[in-house]
Amino acid sequence: MKIHIDNINITMPPSRETKPELTDRSVAKDNPFGIDTNALSGRINELLGINSKLLAENAELRKTNAKLRSNIYELSARVNDIPANTVLTSYHDEIVEEWNKSMLTLSDKYKRRGDALNELTAAVTGLRGKVITIKGSYENESKEHSKTLSNLRNEKGNVIGLKATIKSLEDKVAGYELGMSKEQVAKECGTKPPLTRRPLLSDEEVWQLRRFFKRGRKDVWIIDRTGLPATTVNKVRHNQSYASVPAEPESAPICLHVGWEATKQTKGESK
């Protein structure tokens, strides 16, 4: 006698699923610690999905196992109704074989679930180590940042002092408006006056100097009158500079026309 068992669906998954491997993706350029966070989070989500799937399959297998056990108990009760001289073992062997297969499948599921959990644990452990490294790097960066801020505060104090010095110098330079000479302002500021190059003398200025020389004027008088440097006056006097300037053209003689009355008066005075 063969007994058929209905309403029992046993899903036999493949003996071994291919485990996805962790692959090193290109690390983002803006990640200073070399952590591929996208790949790591994707792998963790994938492992969590596998864990959820295995838990669901485990629940289904438990339900199937419970149904098989209830059927075995039911069939065992029916065997008591069979006469003693009847031997029926085929149905029992079939159910036991299916039950053993279910247990093997469940064991394999448990093993794969354990492997996935171990892999997830290893990934989380590595992530914790990287977090510790990042924390240490952050503390070091914070210390460097504090030093930089301290240096900036010191520089700010120096800038404030420099601004005060510039303000005092501006007050001294303002002496130009009070009629102070460049030498006096430079003396007040503690600096040398800037060197300025005087433009070349014109021909008229050279001719004027030559007229002064002919009249016997001294260099001191010429310097005071024209404001020229003593070196320039001395070189022009000794023909060491501006020698290429031509001689001053002679001007036409001045003719004075004296009237008749003036001539008469002059003659009368001469008499």
Q: What is the pLDDT of residue 128?
A: 82
Average pLDDT (109-136) is 82
196-216 pLDDT per residue, tens: 667 788 999 999 999 999 999
User: How far is residue 113's CA from residue 125's CA, in Å, rounded to a whole number?
Assistant: 18
Q: What is the pLDDT of residue 208?
A: 92
pTM, entire model: 0.26
Q: Range with the lowest mean pLDDT among 4-18, 43-57, 217-231, 245-259? A: 4-18
Same domain, 141 and 217: no
Same domain, 142 and 204: no
Same domain, 138 and 203: no
Residue 20 confidence (pLDDT) above 50: no
Residue that finishes a domain, picked among 112, 146, 180: 146
Q: Does residue 179 lie within any of the structural domains?
A: no
| Total of domains in the chain | 2
User: How far is residue 161's CA from residue 155's CA, in Å, rounded to a whole number?
Assistant: 10
Sort 236 into a burial class: Cβ within 10 Å, 0-12 / 13-18 / 19+: buried
User: How far is residue 49's CA from residue 51's CA, in Å, rounded to a whole number?
Assistant: 5
Q: Does residue 221 lie within any of the structural domains?
A: yes
Please give the C-alpha separations between residue 159 and each of 45, 165, 166, 168, 178, in angstroms, as whole numbers. Answer: 55, 10, 10, 14, 29
Q: Does residue 74 lie within any of the structural domains?
A: yes
Domain encompassing residue 224: 197-249
Q: Does residue 165 lie within any of the structural domains?
A: no
Residue 4 confidence (pLDDT) above 50: no
Same domain, 41 and 132: yes
- Work out the pLDDT band at 17, boundaries 50, 70, 90: very low
Q: Does residue 84 lie within any of the structural domains?
A: yes
Residue that finishes a domain, picked among 146, 176, 208: 146
Instruction: For the chain, give the mean pLDDT.
Output: 72
Q: What is the pLDDT of residue 118?
A: 84
Of residues 80 and 132, more confidence is placed in 132
**167, amino acid identity:** K
Residue that finishes a domain, picked among 82, 115, 146: 146
Q: Does residue 43 lie within any of the structural domains?
A: yes
Q: Does residue 71 lie within any of the structural domains?
A: yes
Same domain, 49 and 140: yes
Q: What is the pLDDT of residue 8?
A: 42
Of residues 262 and 9, more confidence is placed in 262
Q: Does residue 125 lie within any of the structural domains?
A: yes
